[in-house]
Amino acid sequence: MTGLTYDSFARQFRNLPGFDRIYDEHVAYHDELLPHVLFGDLVRFLSAEVELHGPESATLKQAMLLLENGMSDGDSRVHELVSVSILENLEPEDPSFGAIRSSRRPMSSASCRRRRRLNYSKFG
């Protein structure tokens, strides 16, 4: 996956097993896709997924892979979406916090360098 944009990235999550109904209800309710709002629903969905199926859930692993792909292949708005929306909705007191947090793979060096360049470019 390359060149992920804010909207194209968020649309991928419709194919996450079990999340399609939540995605469709979100779009129907808001009459459009609101990625930051949708990702709040995603965090709650993943929390329930961990509680039902444990930290080795295939759905959790697929979601984390999509999120990591967004961080490595997405534009700056995708980075913000993942960084802000996931962290803002993931409560440390939630029983699934550890499982969701530990399932994130470390980002590659290239991805980290790209994020630093994007962040520094905002200042000059």
Mean pLDDT by 10 residues, the chain (124 residues): 79 95 97 94 93 91 91 90 84 78 52 47 44
At residue 75, the 3 state secondary structure works out as coil
Q: What's the predicted TM-score (pTM) here?
A: 0.77
At residue 103, the 3 state secondary structure works out as coil
Give residue limits of the domains in the chain. 6-121
Task: Give 3-state DSSP helix, strand, coil % of the chain, rounded to 5.
Answer: 70, 0, 25
Residue 44: what pLDDT? 92
Residue 21: what pLDDT? 97
- Give the separation between CA 78 and CA 68, rounded to whole angstroms: 11
Residue 120: what pLDDT? 42
